Structure 1
Amino acid sequence: MIRQGLLGQLITDLCALPGVGPKSAQRMAFYLLQRDRDGAMRLAETLLSASKKIAYCEQCRTLTEDKLCRLCADKSRDSSMVCVVESPADVWAVEQAATFKGVYFVLHGHLSPLDGIGPEEIGLNLLENRLAAGDVGEIILATNSTVEGEATAHLIAEMAKKYQVKATRIAHGVPMGGELEYIDSGTLSHAFNGRRQV
């Protein structure tokens, strides 16, 4: 396999992206260099600028180029309702649903004692400061439905209880358009346990 010089380095660096294997990286590199050099230059300039200017929002910890992200700076949003998510990508996912009008707190991970990730590493001290300030009325736990995500949600719920803040968990279960025979037993169990009156 020929992997030398700048072309080889470009392919190797593109492989660092999640979900991009050697063949995909090779296709991207050849496309940019053969058919879209202007696009390659724009991409390089944008990546360079983003890596220098984008940091964490001082309030919710999502990615932004300002001190406060556009969501935290938006006075029309309900700052007493805080949705806790694991990553900035989760903020984008919830926002695309266009139903949540509160604000966020991004953990940048979940509790994982085996990996040395405890409450401090995911910013729970900062979240506790917000709860202690008394401005939060409800905390919505939108961590992933994994063992670590559930453990993280449980710890945050206990923290909320300490400050008399209502803690709710997003529903997990059968997706829209899903057929029961194709749903795994864990998801189906969650759906039955989270049932509500109609």
Structure 2
Amino acid sequence: MSRAVAGPEIERLIQLLARVPGLGPRSARRAALQLIKKREQLMSPLAGAMQEVLGKISTCRVCGNLDVRDPCSVCTDATRDPTLLIVVADVADLWALERAGALNARYHVLGGTLSPLDGIGPDDLNIPALIARAQDEAVGEVLLALGATVDGQTTAHYITELLRESGVKVTRLAHGVPVGGELDYLDEGTLSAAIRSRTSL
């Protein structure tokens, strides 16, 4: 049985950090130690930023993005192309595409992908709002920017079928996205190439 080497407050910090995706127990301990060593330079500003985010961030009622305003800064940006609607599974994917900077369009966050094994069906995703937005006469193309996983492709196929009668052009990411890949882990060059070579479904 391992023994705690620090007080309960530090142990709690380590346990909370270990819950962050990408940080295991060892990484969490290292991160906690750095935060404690550099309390003034790191921990204090981080605590302030987290408290500010906790009180101000909300989910955009239009697209599902996370922002300090609702509707979000993407939805209220008049310079965005209103004819193109990019569909992503998660906010992380939206941010990844924005970092790539390949398109200046609007987004729709589904909140996940269809996954029967995990009990995630159409009613668990933001699909009805997507279909409603796609009916807007200004929208000419719906780009399904979903991961090349089985669940991502299943979701893309399902949405394509729902939009078949709408007359809107439905495209998907093509070259550059590896099978089994997740958008948030791809570099900007790969994402840009994938967007430029999108194909019709």
Question: Per-residue CA shift, 1:116-169, capped at 9, x if unaligned?
Answer: 211121110111111233332100011000010001011111122121110001
Q: What residue in structure 1 maps to residue 4 of structure 2?
A: 2
Which residue in the other structure is 1:96 paired with?
A: 99
The structure with the largest alpha-carbon Rg is 1
Q: What is the correspondence of 1:42-121 to structure 2 with a 5 Å cutoff?
A: 42-121=45-124
Q: Is 1:145 equivalent to 2:148 in the alignment?
A: yes
After superposition, the Cα gap between the structure-2 partners of 1:22 and 1:135, relative to the gap in structure 1 and judged at 3 Å, is same
| TM-score normalised by structure 2 residue count | 0.81
In structure 1, distance between residues paired with 2:19 and 2:92: 18
Q: Aligned match of 2:24 in 10, 15, 21? A: 21
Distance 1:167 1:16 in 2: 37
TM-superposed CA distance for 1:39, in Å, is: 2.2
2: CA distance between counterparts of 1:124 and 1:134? Answer: 18
Deviations 1:70-90 (A, max 9, x none): 111111111120010111111
| Compared CA separation, residues 172 and 122, structure 1 to 2 (3 A) | farther
Are the counterparts in 2 of residues 139 and 160 from structure 1 also a CA contact under 8 Å?
A: no
One-letter code aligned to 1:105: H
TM-score by length of 1: 0.83
Q: Distance in 1 between matches of 2:42 and 2:55?
A: 20
The answer for unaligned runs of 5 or more in structure 1 is 176-190
Letter of the 2:25 partner, please give it: P
Select the structure with the greater relative contact order (CA < 8 A; seq sep ≥ 6): 2
Q: Are the structure 2 counterparts of residues 195 and 127 from structure 1 closer, same or farther at C-alpha, using a change threshold of 3 Å?
A: closer
CA distance in 1, matches of 2:77, 2:198: 34
Please give the root-mean-square deviation of Cα atoms over the aligned residues, in Å. Answer: 2.2
Following superposition, the deviation at residue 13 of structure 1 comes to: 0.6
